[in-house]
Structures are given as C-alpha cells and as structure tokens.
Structure 1
Amino acid sequence: MITKHITEVTTRFNPFTKPSKTCRVFLAHLPANARTTMKINTTVLNRDSQEPSFLALKFNVLVEDGKEMQLDTEKLNINDVVEEVDRHSRVLNRQADLAGN
C-alpha cells in the first residue's frame, strides 16, 4: 500500500463486530513510522455501540490535491480499501513526476 501522500487517518470502529475487521487490518497495514509521517486518530467504540465503523483519509494539501476520502468499511473489504488508496496515490505519484518533484 502506498502511504507516502497520506497526512491523516481517522478511524472509528467497534472491535467486537465483523465489519470492524477492515479498519483493524488497514491500521495494521500502515508502516512502522506512520505516526511520525501522518496524524492517526482512532476511536474504539464500546461493545454495545451501534455506530457504524468508518475510515477517513486526508492526502497532502500543500503539494498534492488535498483530497479527503470517506470509506464505508461496513461495505468494503480490505482489498477494496487498499485498491482505492493505491489508485489515488499512483495518480499523485504521476503528478509529482510530471512536475519534476
């Protein structure tokens, strides 16, 4: 997974439900130095909570487009999430290459 352009990750999930697996695995896919390169906000809900889990990503505002992604982890599995993040990151890599950065 290409995480070079991600500046902020926000997750909210109930670890006792099946749909929260996508959020937990996404956090596990982040590199070891992720806390130094991006802001990570994680909210763990109570066992009784009925709030849906979600994943929100922000991309670099200064150099790139500053896009914000809100991904519904109730419907998407980890492969779909990684594919969406990689697709946008590849576009940003291409733009940076064309700009000469």
Structure 2
Amino acid sequence: MITRYLTEISTAFNPFSPRAKTARLFLSFLPGNARATMKINTKILPRTSREKSFVQVKFKDGKEMKLDSEQLGIKGVMEELDRHSRILARQEELTGN
C-alpha cells in the first residue's frame, strides 16, 4: 500500500462486528510512523450500533475518498487508494519534484 500521499485517515467501526474486519486490517497495514506523518482519527462504535464501518482518506492533492469497508473488503480498499496514489506519483514524476 502506498501511504506516502495520504495526509488524513478517518475510520469508524464496531470492533465486535465481523464486518469491521476491513477497517481493522487497513489500520494494521499502516506503517509504524504513520501517526507522525499523517492525521489518524479512529471512532470505535458501541456494540449495539447500526452505523456502517467506513474508511475515509484525504490525499496530498486534496482529494477525499470515503469507502464503505463493509462492501469493498480490504483488497478493494487498497486497490482504490493505490490507484489514486499511483496517479499522484506519476504527476510528481512528470513535474520533477
């Protein structure tokens, strides 16, 4: 997963729900120094909550993505984020920064 272009991450999930697996895995895939390089907000929902789990990410170029982690799964979430990160990497390469 390309995390160099991420500036802010927000997640919300019920840790007791099997549907929260994607959000938990996503947080575990972040590098150890992630809190020093980006803002991370995690909202733990109560056991009785009916609110859906989500992963919301903000990139360096200002684009925001709110992904339904219950529907996409970890592979889908990572593909979506890597797709935009590769676009940013190409733009950075072309401008020579």
Q: CA deviation at 1:66?
A: 1.1
Matched residue, 1:28: 28
- TM-score after normalising by structure 2: 0.98
Partner of 2:82: 86
- Unpaired runs of at least 5, structure 2: none
User: CA separation in 2, counterparts of 1:19 and 1:69?
Assistant: 19
The SS at the match of 1:23 is: helix
Question: Structure 1 stretches (4+) deviating beyond 4 angstroms?
Answer: none
**Aligned-partner SS, 1:41:** strand
Cα deviation digits, residues 38-90 of structure 1 (max 9, x gap): 00000001111111111100001xxxx31000000110110011111111100
Aligned residue for 1:77, secondary structure, equals: helix
Structure with more of its chain in helix, by fraction = 2
Instruction: Specify the alignment match of 1:6 in structure 2.
Output: 6
Name the count of aligned residue pairs. Answer: 97
> Residue 18 of structure 1: CA displacement?
1.3
RMSD: 0.6
Q: State the match for 1:74 in structure 2.
A: 70
Question: Once the two structures are aligned, what percentage of the paired residues are identical?
Answer: 60
